[in-house]
Chains A and B, each alone.
Chain A
Amino acid sequence: MEQSHEQTCHCEGAFLPLVIARSDRRERRSNLKTKQGALDFTYQIWYINYMIPRFDKNGYLPRGIHKATLYAVGKRFGIGSQQRKEIFKGVISVTRLLRKHKPNIKRFLLNGSYVTFKEVPEDFDCIVILRESFDFKSPEAKKLQHSKKLFNGHVLFVMEKDASESEQLIDFFGHDRDGKAKGIVEVKL
């Protein structure tokens, strides 16, 4: 991606930066050579950065599930203290493992103190909603089972068919001990 430019859309209360990159020079040259004409540039939307909203007065994200890419999560939560940077490495590792089983994973939700204002969180917590086709015998599944030791993160797995259970867990992690609502981040795999 040699040339890129940012387009930002300002909507009411929402800010959605959209990064569009032109295809690389070689591809453009080949397009220029085609009979279709010189204006036949192929644009690729290679990255959409979802907006993660601001923290509320309690230091939590607003109620609900906020979609974000891993890049956006890193930009927002993987900065500040050294601990946050270290934890983000764990988030990356877990995401990489999950990406290998992307079609078998419905949702990857980050929650807990890592997605709050807390400067030095201890670890990260996440919920992974699995489809029936997920291979439990795969080496990735084995690694994910020991995610606390390997990546300093609690990973809670729920089956898609156990909808009530996953809803209960989302509700569970969507509130703090005082019953105040806490936002959850859904990471795009």
Chain B
Amino acid sequence: MIKNKRQLKYTQRRLHKLEKGLEEIRKKYATDKKKANLLSQGYKEHIAQLKSEIAEFESMKKKPLPKMLWIHDLNEVSHQLVRLRIARKLTQAQLAARIECKQSDISRLEREDYSGHTLGQLKKIVTNLNAELGIVLIPKTPRH
């Protein structure tokens, strides 16, 4: 997931390189179709993935936020935090300045594999992003 403009530029550069590589393969192995197909398949998949990531980032900036951002899993916390921050048009550094911490702390909290968020941290960030944090406990119906 792309989180800031620097990452966006880096991804665009990667995309450009991959597209160039794909073109070269098509030219080089134009006579051998099977070879060209196998060699280009991976490139195509990566290009599609990068394009969808870029589109996701662009849409996060433009699209209005839904009324509620649901977090069903701990892995989704960072994703929704990024979404909220980008929708509020703030950079990591700007958000860090607001809540008086380092930019690297925000970067860590927004990492996909990070799951050490505390409720206090989340509340502080979310209120500074002009939103509210709510926790819903849904008891499952007991089985008889």
Contact = CB atoms under 8 A, between A and B. Distances in A.
Interface of A: 59, 116-120, 136-137, 141, 144-145, 148, 154-159, 165, 168-169, 172, 177-179
A136 B46 contact: no
B38 A148 contact: no
Interface string B74-98: 0100000000000000000000000
Contact of B35 (A59, A119, A136, A178): A136
A177 B7 contact: yes
Contacts of A144: 38
Interface stretch (B9-17, B63-71, B123-131): B9-17
A156 B7 contact: no
A118 B39 contact: no
B17 A145 contact: no
B8 to A, nearest CB: 9
B122 interface: no
A168 B37 contact: no
A154 B14 CA distance: 16
A168 B46 CA distance: 14
B56 interface: no
Interface residues of B, number: 27
B14 A159 contact: no
A158 to B, nearest CB: 7
Given A148-B45, A172-B14, 4 more contacts: A119-B113, A120-B75, A141-B34, A177-B7
A177 B11 contact: yes
Given A120-B75, A156-B46, A136 B38 contact: yes
B113 A168 contact: no
A179 B14 CA distance: 12
B35 A154 contact: no
A136 B14 contact: no
Given A119-B113, A168-B21, A136 B32 contact: yes
A83 B75 CA distance: 13
Interface string B26-53: 0000001011011101110110010000
A136 B32 CA distance: 9
13 contacts: A59-B111, A118-B112, A119-B75, A119-B115, A136-B35, A145-B38, A145-B41, A154-B46, A156-B42, A156-B46, A177-B2, A177-B11, A179-B10
B6 interface: yes
Given A119-B75, A145-B38, A168 B17 contact: yes
Contacts of B42: 154-157
A144 B2 CA distance: 29
A44 to B, nearest CB: 36
Contacts of B75: 119-120
Contacts of B14: 172
Contacts of A155: 41-42
Contacts of A117: 113
A63 B18 CA distance: 22
Nearest to A144: B38
Contacts of A178: 6-7, 10
